[in-house]
């Protein structure tokens, strides 16, 4: 999947909520996303194009109300300055399709993670793919 899809094409293949968040840079309400407290082992992929973005071992409970990761799969996520809503933040998008994932925050003092970074990701922007061990435990 490439970044060359038109917004009309994205609207046809995404749910209205996925389109609002992934294409219009929306945000889901805190503590409402299915992956906020999720603990499965596997890979989190872009909900729009299925590109692998985060490994479950990098997910941690930040208490922020959204799924949090301390690092992305190398090359999977792009960063952009975001000055919307009278704030200066760093937006993160899928490198393959440019879908909005959320924001990354640095310097918050996360001592139990290898990087002092929190990728705050909308659950709607991702989907989980369990690893083989996780699949077997569900059977």
Residues annotated as catalytic are 120
Grouping H, G, I as helix, E, B as strand and the rest as coil, residue 103 is strand
CA angle 47, 26, 5 (to 5 degrees): 50
Handedness of CA 48, 49, 53, 57 (dihedral sign): positive
CA angle 108, 113, 117 (to 5 degrees): 40
| CA proximity to 115, closest of 66, 77, 70, 85 | 70
């Amino acid at each position: 999947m490439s970044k060359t899809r038109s917004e009309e094409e994205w609207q046809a293949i995404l749910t209205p909520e996925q389109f609002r968040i992934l294409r219009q840079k929306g945000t889901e309400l805190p503590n409402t996303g299915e992956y906020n407290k999720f603990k499965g082992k596997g890979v989190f992929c872009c909900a729009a194009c299925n590109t692998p973005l985060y490994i479950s071992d990098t997910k941690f409970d930040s208490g922020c109300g959204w799924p949090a990761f301390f690092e992305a799969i190398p090359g999977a996520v792009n960063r952009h300055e975001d000055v919307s809503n009278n704030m200066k933040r760093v937006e993160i998008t899928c490198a393959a399709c440019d879908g909005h994932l959320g924001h990354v925050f640095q310097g918050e003092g996360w001592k139990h993670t290898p990087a002092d970074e929190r990728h705050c990701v909308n659950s709607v922007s991702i989907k989980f793919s369990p690893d083989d061990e996780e699949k077997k435990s569900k059977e």
